[in-house]
Amino acid sequence: MSDTFRLTLAQLNPTVGDFSGNAAKARDAWQQGKDAGAQMVSLPEMFLTGYQVQDLVLKPAFTKGAMAAVDQLALDCADGPALGIGHPILIDDVLYNAYSILDGGKVKSRTLKHELPNTGVFDERRLYAKGPLGGPYSIDPLRIGTPICEDAWHEDVSETLAESGAELLLVPNGSPYYRGKHDVRLSHMVARVVENDLPLVYLNMVGGQDDQVFDGGSFVLNRGGKLAVQLPAFDEVIAHVDFIRDVEGWTAVEGEKAALPDDFEQDYRVMVEALRDYMRKTGFEKVLLGMSGGIDSGLVATIAADALGPDNVRCVMLPSEYTSEHSLEDASEAARLLGTRIDTVPIAGPRAAVTDALAPLFEGTTPDLTEENIQSRLRGVLLMALSNKFGEMLLTTGNKSEVAVGYATIYGDMAGGYNPIKDLYKMRVFETCRWRNANHRPWMMGPAGTVIPQRIIDKPPSAELRPDQKDEDSLPPYEILDDILDRLVDKDQSVAEVVAAGHDRAVVKKIEHLIYISEYKRFQSAPGPRLTDRAFWLDRRYPIANRWRDDS
């Protein structure tokens, strides 16, 4: 019996619903494994369909199409290594999340996911049935147990596989990013290794899907929890890992140990990859955005240039009588530094026309927020017209602080198809701009060096909808606001806990009120990449009509 085993890991980026394209990626990975002399090639969870498929999987035609594609893939990859791939399956009209081992032209073994995640962005108990605890399968000369993603976060699944004779745990994943997620994964997998005294392979996919980005970072652990292989974060990689058997069992030969970026770089990479894949997977090639001369639009323009290339980004200034000369200069300078196109469409004429049209109905009233919001909504109308005419997707530019308290105009500056900074609080926007000015990476398509003018970073934020307006006229300073929001939204603290942390109760209650009354705006807002495990949308689901308030 051989004492060596080569496993090819395919850390790749599938597209939801593209069965033929995903199968082609699988065949290419299989061929590379075959050429490298591998006994098995492994792809991530639900790779054949892409992930997450949400309610698409409830359409029988979708799942049956996926099953047929798996059968065809088995035939295509009959003469060579075994191939492991994830997909949905119907068994006796019951739907499961499955991982199939294809070998010799047929399905040799099939594992059904046992633990179904039902928190945060996951809703699998609604979609799939719980599979039984299973045993390992043999790919000569090795017996492999496959806990599927969430299965490996629970002791019983891996323990059952080990007790049934598994000599290696292979964990295929569709695990999306949030800040600090890699360390969480690693700690759980080390626990499984130590509990069962078995080496473990953690294989994750990469790529963006709507709000989620799968960040890869696959790794191999030897007994005792020692890291043997660490694949890069975010990049598509096909890697060959060798295992050898000694008197104690199987051990992975140490290989590549890629350095993982820090949190700021990972967050920024997520925003870039999310937009890049959202565009590619929805069929858009170019974007436009309103360029105000402020820090949020400056950062979004930079993300867009890094994701798509400056030639595919149009920045548009839409000045009113309240727009400062500094803002026009800063917007132009930011576009120049990035190398993007910039156009100017003044809104004074359209605003006067709307004011005249409404004058008979507004007669006798005092100008207020209504008139300010007309400016924002006119900008939305003009930007959407450009989007429609030229086929460029409109990006919206509201940060998480603004999204949280509704400091944005619905059907105005909230108009757009995607928001790259939706889960980035304002203070982190400032820090991210400083980081990007100081750093450049090969995956960035924009230029190196300073791309966001320092004056944009330094000046007080303003919507410029009335004379001398500053954000702090309506909101507490952002360092205070963001801490309150982090506690109320991300940490789910009570009002009393936030006050105990040193904040004024009246201010906390005001922010709490703004969060709740802005729910209807978030319900209609553009999607954006998830950077935390408390992002607005699937991580945090609140009713729109809601009179409850925390009186603690």
| Span 50-107, pLDDT tens digits | 999 999 999 999 999 999 999 999 999 999 999 999 999 999 999 999 999 999 999 9
Distance between first and last Cα of the chain: 68
- Cα 395 to Cα 378: distance, rounded to the nearest angstrom: 16
Nearest alpha-carbon partner for 126 in 93, 97, 157, 92 = 97
Binding-site entries for deamido-NAD(+):
373, 402, 521
**CA separation for the pair 154, 463 (Å, rounded):** 49
Tally of CB atoms within 10 A around 541: 8
Q: For residue 468, what pLDDT is reported?
A: 67
For residues 543 and 519, give the distance between their C-alpha atoms in angstroms, rounded to a whole number.
7
pLDDT at 207: 98
- Which residues in the chain show pLDDT less than 50? none
Catalytic residue among 45, 150, 167, 372: 45
Strands 142-145 and 168-173: parallel
Scan for tokens 């989620």, then name that residue: 212
Q: Which residues lie across from 394 on neighbouring strands?
A: 288
Binding residues: 175, 181, 290-297, 373, 397, 402, 521
Q: Does the active-site annotation cover 25?
A: no
Are the beta carbons of 21 and 28 closer than 8 angstroms?
A: no
Tokens of 267: 């967050």
Which pTM was predicted?
A: 0.94
Q: Is 113 a catalytic residue?
A: yes
Predicted local confidence at residue 471, as pLDDT:
65
Peptide bond into 52 cis (omega under 30): yes
DSSP class of 449: S
Contact 86, 99 (CB under 8 A): yes
- What's residue 480's pLDDT? 96
pLDDT of residue 459: 86
Question: The tokens 């495990």 sit on which residue?
Answer: 533
Strands 4-11 and 237-246: antiparallel
Helix ranges (H only) for 81-148 are: 124-127
Beta strands in 50-199 (DSSP E): 82-91, 94-103, 106-112, 137-139, 142-145, 168-173
Domains delineated in the chain: 4-260 (3.60.110.10), 264-471 (3.40.50.620)
Per-residue model confidence (pLDDT) at position 1: 54
Residue 69 φ/ψ, nearest 5 degrees: -65, -35
**Which residues carry a binding-site annotation for ATP?**
290-297, 397
CB 376 within 8 A of CB 347: no
Find the catalytic residue in 25, 77, 149, 464.
149
In percent, how much of the chain has pLDDT > 70? 98
Closest CA to 198 of 134, 160, 250, 146: 250
Query: Looking at 25, 77, 113, 150, which residue is catalytic?
Result: 113
